[in-house]
Chains A and B, each alone.
Chain A
Amino acid sequence: MLNNKSEIKLSILGLRGSFGGVLQAYLETSQKEYKIITADTSTSAGLSRFKASFPENFIECGISEQSATAIATGISLEGQNVYLGSFSPFIIGRSWEQIRLASYMEANLTIFGFGAGIGLSYLGYTHCSLEDCILINSIPNTRIFEPSIPSDTHRALALSEKYGGINYIRLLGDGPINRKIIENYEILDSNSRLYSYQSSRVIICSGYLLSRLFSQFSESINYDVISINQISGKGVDYSKISNYIDKYEEIYCIHESYENLIFNELQKYNNSNHIYNISPRKKFTKPGNFEYVSKNLNFDLSQFI
């Protein structure tokens, strides 16, 4: 676990920038041999210091996501832990078949994809990734994590090693984490946190959306908020959340993905007709910042101010 001081320090870097620091903290306690594999992105996820300190454990494949994924599979099947990462649309979109075959061979891959969602939509739609959850979720023996704070990332790494298989750590957004979400919460269960404001309405969400929501909330917050770390896949359990949310009059599941996996998973446990699906419309838009593109995708978070 990360201590509070480390959490605050890393949160300034954002989820993507803090990934290297969280991984280093995690690996300091791990006993197993490991390799970190990237596709020309070692400087993009806070891994530069790590690369300089442990060059023998670092494999830079260059811009070749498919081979990087298949090489990672080969190394995993020789018994080492593998952490494979690049920008989400490329490491998931381009390497989907290699990930599928890794799962087929029962390799254990921890894949970190940054720039997921529409956080990089100002770069154009080539750098957006709203299909990645559907792609990963379509493969057997996979899990998707969407950390909101660095200790979520840490826990995702621990669960990935514990359970094996294909674990996708989906890193949304590229700004600092809102300080409010690393304070003043209750642990609802091992996978979720509750930010309670005594409201009759609740938002359930994951990843950097939590920071975005709290950044736009005014002083008086009109929703309770539940954050989820592992959103789908093998071993995910929404039962406690499902029981807890029965008291709310309105339940909003927000997911930055064409397919709202949070909504889909929750519906397996709770058939309330007060659960609403808030996710982007399936279409391409002109580039712009998060606010511009999300509005064009009917995914406007300002409705929750």
Chain B
Amino acid sequence: MRKISSKKFKNIANRIRERIVQIGLTSDYKVVHYGGALSIVEIITYAYTCFLRLNPLDKNNIKRDRFVLSKGHACLAQYAALIELGFVTQDQIAFEKNGSSFAGHPVINRENFIDFSTGSLGNGLAYAIGSAISYRERRVCCIIGDGELGEGSIWESLRLIIKFDLVNLLTFIDLNGYQQTGNTKDVNGDIDLEKVLCGFGFNVTKVNGHNIEELLHLNKRLISHKKPTIILAETIKGFGVKAIENTLESHHTILKNPIEIYKHA
């Protein structure tokens, strides 16, 4: 794993969060999927700065590492991270504009490090398996949502990750607790994910998905385990934007001024 200081991590995460809001406000449609993007800021920062070994010059290398945002509606976080880390420029991100590669859900464009088209929930994890199995020296990181666990194809894929022993695939489940129509526990049922996933045979680690120290500590844990790993990341939907934090409405909403954004100190 790559090492990064806590201070640097914080700065990157803070800027990604700011960029999510900035880019979202450029949408002509005003109503934007902020909540799920804001909940994965620290997870995506970890994925790009610690786990994946990506270089902007390496965009066309078919064997490079891959990032799959299975919960594609959170794409603002990915777009913001790609700008922040120098993979694309801010000018390239014409968010939800006609003909743009940066739509309201990711559209595959490997030159811009968007590795798969996602948005139809339940498919990204299987794409990640395809990437991981095709070249086992490659690292693949996939983020899925807790609401997305309602899709049967996710459970097919989880079984296959174990069957194919894909230790090069790191899966995060963003447990932000909400999906479009309500509280995830009410909609999907309240299951003991840790127990179920351990039963599948995963190395399961629980973290506070906004706690930078806990995320940085994952590096040690990942190296010491020989089984495929799933990180259960407990997060807060809309985290960092006071007006929408921990609300169902944050899933797809309009931000109104004044917009107050918290920062990691």
Q: Do A and B bind each other?
A: yes
Binding site for B on A (CB under 8 A): 35, 59, 61-62, 64, 66-67, 69-80, 97-98, 101, 104-106
Contact indicator B133/A101 (Cβ below 8 Å): no
Chain B proximity of A71: nearest CB distance (Å) = 4
Interface of B is mostly: helix
A66, A73, A97: the one contacting B130 at CB < 8 Å is A73
Query: Are A67 and B157 closer than 8 Å at their CB atoms?
Result: yes
| Further contacts, 9 of them, CB under 8 A, given A75-B133, A78-B131, A98-B126 | A66-B122, A70-B123, A70-B127, A70-B157, A72-B130, A73-B127, A74-B133, A97-B120, A104-B117
CB-based closest 10 A-B pairs: A74-B130, A70-B126, A64-B156, A67-B156, A78-B134, A74-B127, A75-B130, A71-B130, A66-B153, A67-B126
Decide if A78 touches B130 in the complex (CB within 8 Å). yes
Q: Please, which residues of chain A bring their CB within 8 A of the CB of B156?
A: 61, 64, 66-67
Contact A71 B108 (CB under 8 A): no
Given the complex of chains A and B, what is the CA–CA distance between A75 and B135 in angstroms?
Answer: 9
With A67-B157, A101-B123 as contacts: A79 and B131 at CB distance below 8 Å: no
* B159 lies within 8 A of chain A by Cβ: yes
B residues within 8 A CB of A64?
Answer: 153, 156, 159-160
Between B128, B133, B134, B157, the greatest number of chain A beta carbons within 10 A of the residue's beta carbon is seen for: B134
Closest chain-B Cβ to A238's Cβ sits at a distance in Å of 33
In whole angstroms, what is the CA distance A80 to B133 when docked? 11
26 A-B contacts, Cβ less than 8 Å apart?
A: A59-B133, A62-B163, A64-B159, A66-B123, A66-B156, A67-B126, A67-B153, A67-B156, A67-B157, A70-B129, A70-B153, A71-B126, A71-B130, A71-B133, A72-B130, A74-B127, A74-B131, A74-B133, A74-B134, A75-B131, A77-B127, A78-B135, A79-B62, A79-B134, A105-B116, A106-B108
Q: How far is the CB of A108 from chain B (nearest CB, A)?
A: 13
Query: Per-residue 0/1 for B98-131: is the Cβ within 8 Å of any A Cβ (1 yes, 0 no)?
Result: 0000000000100000011100101100111111
- A39 (CB) vs chain B CBs: closest residue: B156
Cα of A67 to Cα of B130 in the assembled complex, Å: 10
Tell me which of A35, A98, A106 contacts B123 (CB under 8 A): A98
Q: Which of B115, B130, B133, B164 contacts A70 (CB 8 A)?
A: B130
Contact partners of B199 in chain A: CB under 8 A: none
Contacts of B134 in A (CB 8 A): 35, 74-75, 78-80
Q: Known interface pairs A78-B62, A80-B134. Does A105 touch B129 (Cβ–Cβ under 8 Å)?
A: no
Contact check, A77 vs B157: say whether CB atoms are below 8 A apart. no
In the complex, how many angstroms separate the beta carbon of A97 from the nearest chain B beta carbon? 6
Q: Tell me the bound Cα distance from A80 to B131 in angstroms.
A: 10
The CA-CA distance from A70 to B68 in the complex, in Å, is 13
Chain B residue numbers with a CB within 8 Å of A67 are 126, 129, 153, 156-157, 160
